[in-house]
Amino acid sequence: ELIADGHHVHPGAMQLLLQVKGAQGVCLVSDAAPLAGLEDGTYTWEGYNVTIGGGTCRLPDGILAGAYSLLDEDLRTLLRSIPGMDPAQAVRCASEVPARSIGLAHRKGRLAAGCDADLVVLDRDWQVECTMVGGEVVWERDNSGIMR
């Protein structure tokens, strides 16, 4: 498993992991805290004061308290951080490998007949355009760039 948010694991360690295991052996995960995506500030979560800032969630002593980024941001970070990273292999780390790791590769994590058609559509900049569950759009970004 790899949290590729640029804070949990150094890019050099990410690259080494991919060289050793190959994309088929690396499962991209998020570890996103419930506070992920909130504006900078201090919040209470599970009885702890957690500060959001600099793209991280931290306890008062500076220790990471989960991740601030969601999986799409981690995918973009992985692509930016690893020179020559094949986009298809990066997507594989975020789709097929996680499905296989939990025993659902027969119906999730890939585009194939008989699979569930749970999809995330990304634009050229790897930003989420829409998400689909069972082939039905459940969320889409509107033309103004505002998510709805």
pTM of the model: 0.87
Q: Which pLDDT score, from 0 to 100, does residue 142 have?
A: 86
- Is-catalytic flag, 142? no
Residue pair 72/139 in contact by the 8 Å Cβ criterion:
no
pLDDT in tens, 78-93: 999 999 999 999 999 9
The one catalytic residue in 31, 72, 116, 118 is 31
The segments of the chain whose pLDDT lies below 50 read none
Q: Which pLDDT score, from 0 to 100, does residue 26 have?
A: 98
Backbone φ and ψ of 114, nearest 5°: 90, -10
Q: Which pLDDT score, from 0 to 100, does residue 147 have?
A: 52
Q: Which pLDDT score, from 0 to 100, does residue 145 have?
A: 54
Q: Which pLDDT score, from 0 to 100, does residue 37 have?
A: 86
Q: Which pLDDT score, from 0 to 100, does residue 95 have?
A: 96
